Amino acid sequence: MTGIRKRISIGFLSIVVLLFFSGLVSLFELNHMSVDIDAILSSNRKGIELTEGMLDAIRSHDRAVIRYAVLHDTSYADSCRVRYKSFADKISQARAETSASADGLFDELDASATRLDSIVEQLFESGRVEQGLMADTLRAVEFDGRQWYDNEYLPVYNTTSNQILDVLTYAQNSLSPRAERLSRNAYRAVTPVFISLVVMIVILL
């Protein structure tokens, strides 16, 4: 009788000790999981916000260019410059808040954005829009803004927009190692409890 009681006492204490340490290990791993989840969500949210900011800025610039070049509204000349400056600032902000490993993508984006601005500035300097408005008076050829937009501006605009999306894709892919680590932590959090249950069964038997 004493032997059985001793065996039960040892088994009970062993179970308590196992549960205590397995609980500590599980809490430790769950804490790591919580940190990784917060980091993944924060990085994902920041990447989306930065991308949306750049896309909104370049679309705003595009609308001003259409008003100026296609609709021949010369009052939008200054707006084109102001909105491009806002777009360039968004790129700089995104670069500063993104990993240095993405610098190559931002270099390409900067080059395309500069090319986009250069195309619009060349149009300003040529004065073709203004001359087109006075074509009859100056006996000049009316400026075809739609053709200029489709042939010169739009291809560079599309390239720049796609490069912005490439930055977002890169940011999403950079989260993969953290997601894999999160999966490993989940297994490690459950394993101690499982082992404790197995040991409990063996002891009680």
Q: What is the pTM of this model?
A: 0.70
HSE-CB for 150 with a 13 A CA cutoff: 4
Q: Tokens 């501006």 map to which residue?
A: 153
> Would you give per-residue pLDDT tens digits along the chain (205 residues)?
566 666 667 666 766 676 667 666 666 766 666 666 666 667 777 888 889 999 999 999 999 999 999 999 999 999 999 999 999 999 999 999 888 888 899 999 999 999 999 999 999 999 888 887 665 555 556 788 999 999 999 999 999 999 999 988 887 776 556 656 666 666 666 666 666 666 666 655 5
Q: What is the DSSP letter of 71?
A: S
Handedness of CA 94, 95, 101, 107 (dihedral sign): positive
Q: Tokens 């004493």 map to which residue?
A: 2
> CA–CA separation, 144 vs 128, rounded Å?
9
Handedness of CA 83, 87, 88, 89 (dihedral sign): positive
What would the DSSP string read from start to end of 4-37?
HHHHHHHHHHHHHHHHHHHHHHHHHHHHHHHHHH
Beta-carbon contacts of residue 130 (< 8 Å; ≥ 6 apart): 74
Rounded to a whole number of angstroms, the CA Rg of the chain reads 31
